[in-house]
Structure 1
Amino acid sequence: MPPRQRRSLPYNAIAAAVLAVVLSAEAGRAQDMPSPFVQSVAAAAAEDETVSAFYAARDYRTLWTGPQDAERRSLVLSAFATAADHGLPVSRYDAATLAALFASAQTEGDRGRLEVAMTRAYLAFAHDLQSGALVPKKVDGGILREVTVVDPAVNLAAVESPDFAAYLRDLPPDAPEYARLMAARFELQQVVGADGWGAAVLSGGLGQGDRGAAVVALRDRLGAMGYLGRTATAIYDRDIAAAVSQFQIDHGLPATGKADADTLAEINESPESRLQSVTVALERLRWMGDAPRGDRHIWVNQPDFTARIVDHGKVTFQTRAVIGKDSADQRSPEFSDEMEYMVVNPSWGVPRSITVKEYLPLLQRNPNAVGHLQVVDSRGRVIPRGSVNFAAYSARSFPFGLRQPPSDGNALGKVKFMFPNPYNIYLHDTPSKSLFEKQVRAFSHGCIRLGEPFDFAYTLLAPQTDDPQGSFEESLNTGRETVVKFDTHIPVHLVYFTAWPTPKGRMTYRNDVYGRDQRIWDALMAAGLEPAGASG
């Protein structure tokens, strides 16, 4: 089993387990000693309480190694053989090695150890498909997703269910994107095995009317990637421009139809790189498991810099988003929660980290600095600046907070959307509108800024009022901080997918803005993932 589910016991505990089997057998069968198989199973299972209890409860009957277990054994070995297709670390449940052990086992002791090895491999395989092969927080501290782990005892009990084959098929997430990602992974493996998409396009930029070797290379590469039909043209024509536009849409670039430097950099990305992104996306979906996203939910994909409202699987509203800066304490985290209310005309309670790192040094030099902010005590009461000796405090000892009251220049703009969480992350408006024109939008302290927050609010309010815009503006026009609750809480998913399939199966890709995907890939490789391009 994976290390996080195993409890290693000292040698004397293993001996005690064997002794318990011996004593139990003596009580039930007079002077008969337990068989070498039973002793071997007991010793091998003793270091895992769940496995040990399971075999003891069934009087050490076989699951995999008896003549009557052939069908079950074949099913699970066949399932293990698909591990590479899912982008899982094959070495944890290597079907070929286990099959060889079945062929080479000579003693009852060998068979007992193999019995437990199969059980452990099955539990590891089931766990990894259901919940992922890695622990998110151990890979990156910004991945705060709570992963649901199925009790190993439940997976063990399923082995003898009437339709074990169906249970094995249902282990992976049932999200439609999972199957599409697996299909994309298979196609990319074929491309890698066939030496890729052809020669790189060596040019600083191309546009309609251009001709020559670089255009031919662009034509051939677009064709190999499925963006362009068969053509012998050596001129950058309308068909090539249309193919480039679709490629740009799929890769989060402005759809100009011109192959500028940024577009060519994406076109020249290797299939191995795309395969890596798809493999990581599969692991991320396993972390999300089969928990429902919600008939209506909010989906913020950080590398895409977008926030979407999704109703019954269809995007009903989308807006540009700004995410946290790529610095250690400002990257936006990944987690799911439920949006409960919005605050119209919000005040901004400056986070402690910003207060002491950015503003306290300014106030120590000039008590009248950052005049748009109020100094408040622990009860939220405004404290006159003249009564505070800012120089007397350090970042640790500073006892006050800072707050910006509602205003046109408020850092949160005119509305914030709240899903109370320990990380103080939420979605909000911003007065800094120019940032939404940038292609890479990582500028915040961690919260998600929305490009069209009012329309976002109207869409969220629509199910509970006949006039969502009027209802919102009624609160807005008061100028006062106002809480507007949602009749039904709305699931919010802050996710990070650099590879994502459209409903029609077309793959879209984004850049790994925080380097998180690379860390996940490295961890998967360290866990035993086969190199990119290796087939299962």
Structure 2
Amino acid sequence: MRGYRGLPKALAVLSIVVFTGFAGTPSVAQVTAFKQSVAESAAKDSDVAAFYREAGYEPIWTGKGNKPRERRKALFAALENASYHGLSAKRYDVDGLKAQLKAAKTNRDLGRVEVALSKTFVRYARDIQTGMLTPKRVDQNIVRQVPYRDRKAYLANFAKSSPRNYIKSLTPKTPEYTRLMKEKLQLEKLLGKGGYGETVKASKLEPGASGPAVVQLRNRLIKMGFMKRSSSQSFDSNLQKAVQQFQLAHGLNADGVAGKTTLKEVNKSAESRLQSVLVALERERWNNRPEGRGKRHVLVNLTDYSAVIMDNGKETFRTRTVIGATKSDRVSPEFSDTMEHMVINPTWNVPRSIATKEYLPMLQKNPNAVSHLKLVDSRGRTVSRDSVDFTQFTKSSFPFNIKQAPSRSNALGLVKFMFPNRYNIYLHDTPAKNLFSRETRAYSHGCIRLHKPFEFAYTLLAKQSSNPKGEFHRHLDTGRETTVPLEKQVPVHIIYRTAFTKAKGPMQYRRDIYGRDAKIWKALANEGVVLRAVRG
């Protein structure tokens, strides 16, 4: 039997007592008991405690009237639907909350359930808006600063808003999040139908081939959406085009031949793709900034080996990249910062880690090694190698800086793009152009090398110069190191997405080169995130 305004009968009576007393006048003792219970229950959560203190310990969930009932209804609906967004429903213990609400017998019980609902609401609000996990706890190289909102403000704003609309507003509103959610639902429906079907049992398939493996390849590509239904059992032109489209959507060389790498990607399960999408949704929440990524911004996707300049949501320039090698001390970190200037004809100030780990051992064996580099003491004076016994130094005691003067053979090439940060990461040119033709391009010490750095510079300068190419080369031709400020600084986002979307075209998947997404998925699963199969 339901009681007063949607509360269990006993709780409805208690609610009336708390606010009016049995005789219709305020019952100070009973109101005090409720408020004291709220204060005690919220004491260990400073944000929730501050909200109730500023609100005079008035209830928002357990009071009388329609509003508290609407709030509870909106909250429970959101919690029960948490898995729709790839969140963990078990984090919110909906059944436990409902049982606690139903079992409330006293005003002190009512105060405790009031705070329990608020804490759960705040947890859900933060989870859906900026993610469940703390990035750096999952991987030390995910050093992104998550744009967390004020927890107390969640409660204050919710209390004065339409409950359902407010909860709906917490979801990221980026086109990427919307498209990822669409892919998630499609994969869940596909899982409900058995996934991609039989795997391809072959090491290589190319045009002209036939047999069971070709049929397996055809059928998987049909289920993935790269081919229309076909009964052909040979590797014909239609299948070759489908393989090429698959390769393009997975960052592979689009030669139309299903070789070892292509088949490995073709044979990945729908479950593994859904895991990648769920990880991407969590990552999108981590970067859910109120201001967005910026009207103009640079987006570097490490797994895609690409750097893109975006203007008002449209791609205006794209280039290939080489990123940090897979060794633990060379991987490229993930973070966002702001590009302030470019340096044309840069000097390479060799990072101390490279100087002591790589060059010092070489100098100890041969003082004339790496002769293109110069030694500089603490006063900025060039040091003659003939006067130095390198064997006396260790990594910690090596007293010199190592520099490379501007030149075409400089390790930084002829231009670098600076967004000063504590990780000493930036974008730059490179003399090692041969690496850009490779499918996998993880070779640097952590910085991002650009395939077309001059064109990248022209695009940036076009916002402040009527002749950006001419201005760039005017500085370049001097041969001198020159700093060119950006009149309007540009946000830079270094991201890592193994699943991402395009406004048009198929879903994009990339390989987990650093193993970070595997760590994130493990952490999500530990929190209770599950893969859903939707039938019907």
Whether TM-score is above 0.5 comes out as yes
- Which residue in the other structure is 2:312 paired with? 312
The C-alpha deviation readout for 1:263-310, integer Å capped at 9, x for no partner, is 111111011111111111111111111242121111110000011111
Matched, 1:427 2:424: no
> What is the letter of the counterpart of residue 494 of structure 1?
I
Residue 31 of structure 1, CA deviation: 8.0
Alignment check: 8 A CA contact 2:190 2:533 kept: no
CA deviation after TM superposition for structure 1 residue 104, in Å = 4.4
1:272–1:533 contact (8 Å) kept in structure 2: no
Deviates more, 1:394-403 or 1:287-296: 287-296
Q: Does 1:510 align with 2:507?
A: no
Structure 1 residue 205 and structure 2 residue 204: aligned? yes
Does the aligned pair in 1 maintain the 2:221–2:242 contact within 8 Å?
Answer: yes
Match in the other structure for 1:481: 481
1:58 corresponds to which of 55, 59, 64: 55
Structure 1 62/31 Cα, relative in aligned 2: closer, same or farther at 3 Å? closer
User: Partner of 1:256 in structure 2?
Assistant: 255
Aligned equivalents of 1:404, 1:50: Cα separation in 2: 52
Shift of 1:502: 0.8
Determine the structure 2 residue equivalent to 1:466. 466
Match of 2:11 in 1: none
| 1:463 match: secondary structure | coil
| Aligned equivalents of 1:418, 1:154: Cα separation in 2 | 36
Q: C-alpha distance in 1, partners of 2:139/2:114?
A: 36
Aligned to 2:111: 112
Q: Which residue of structure 2 aligns with residue 418 of structure 1?
A: 418
Corresponding residue number in structure 1 for 2:373: 373
The reply to whether residue 49 of structure 1 matches residue 46 of structure 2 is: yes
1:162-206 deviation per Cα after TM superposition (whole angstroms, max 9, x unaligned): 323222111122211011111111211222222211100111122
Cα distance in structure 2, aligned partners of 1:115 and 1:33: 15
By how many angstroms is 1:134 displaced?
1.1
Which segment drifts farther, 137-146 or 347-356?
137-146
CA gap 1:109/1:392 in 2 versus in 1, 3 angstroms = same
Amino acid at match of 1:477: D
Secondary structure of the 1:179 match is helix
* Partner residue, 1:185: 184
Q: Is the 8 A contact 2:30 2:107 kept in 1?
A: no
Q: Deviations over 1:37-81 (max 9, x none)?
A: 444433322221222233344343322233421111101111112
C-alpha separation in 2, matches of 1:463 and 1:54: 46
Partner of 1:281: 280
How far apart, CA to CA, are the structure 1 residues paired with 2:63 and 2:505? 44
Counterpart AA for 1:194: K
CA distance in 2, matches of 1:203, 1:106: 67
Q: Which letter does structure 1 place at the counterpart of 2:253?
A: P
Native 8 Å contact 1:275 1:533 kept in 2: no
- Give the equivalent residue in structure 1 for 2:219: 220
Structure 2 counterpart of 1:75: 74
Distance 2:237 2:64 in 1: 66
Kept after mapping to 2: 8 A contact 1:227/1:246: yes
Is 1:136 the counterpart of 2:135 in the alignment? yes
Q: % of aligned pairs identical? A: 50
Distance 2:534 2:426 in 1: 42
- TM-superposed CA distance for 1:238, in Å, is 1.9
- Counterpart CA distance in 2 for 1:31 and 1:170 is 38
Amino acid at match of 1:113: R
| CA displacement at 1:126 relative to structure 2 | 0.7
In structure 2, the CA distance between the partners of 1:343 and 1:53, relative to structure 1 (3 Å rule), is closer
SS of the aligned residue for 2:430 comes to coil
- TM-score (norm. length: structure 1): 0.90
Q: TM-score by structure 2 length?
A: 0.90
Question: Per the alignment, in what secondary structure is the counterpart of residue 443 of structure 2?
Answer: strand
Q: Following the alignment from structure 2 to structure 1, what is the Cα–Cα distance between the partners of residues 516 and 192? A: 27
Q: Which amino acid aligns with 2:148?
A: V
Q: 2:39 and 2:487 mapped to 1: Cα distance?
A: 56
Structure 2, gaps ≥5 residues long: 1-25
Q: Which residue of 2 aligns with 1:293?
A: 293
Q: Distance in 1 between matches of 2:28 and 2:158?
A: 33
Contact 1:85–1:535, Cα closer than 8 Å, also in 2: no
Moved more, 38-47 or 406-415: 38-47
Cα displacement (A) at 1:433: 1.0
Shift of residue 33 of structure 1? 5.8
What code does the residue aligned with 1:41 have? V
State the Cα deviation string for residues 479-536 of structure 1 (Å, max 9, x = none).
Answer: 111112222111111110110011136310000100111111111222232x223679
8 Å contact kept, 1:375–1:400: yes
Partner of 2:298: helix, strand, or coil? strand
1:134-158 Cα distance to aligned partner (Å, 9 max, x none): 1111111111111121111100101
Further displaced range: 313-322 or 97-106: 97-106
Is the counterpart of residue 272 in structure 1 residue 271 in structure 2? yes
Residue 20 (structure 1) aligns with: none
Matched-pair contact (CA < 8 Å) for 1:158–1:164: no
Give secondary structure in 1 for the equivalent of 2:323.
strand
Q: Structure 1 pair 204/32, CA: closer, same or farther in 2 (3 Å)?
A: closer
Residues 506, 236 of structure 1: alpha-carbon distance in 2 compared, 3 angstrom cutoff: same
Deviations 1:103-123 (A, max 9, x none): 444454443322221111100
Q: Is residue 345 from structure 1 mapped to residue 312 from structure 2 by the alignment? A: no
C-alpha separation in 2, matches of 1:173 and 1:528:
21
Secondary structure of the residue that 2:519 maps to in structure 1? helix
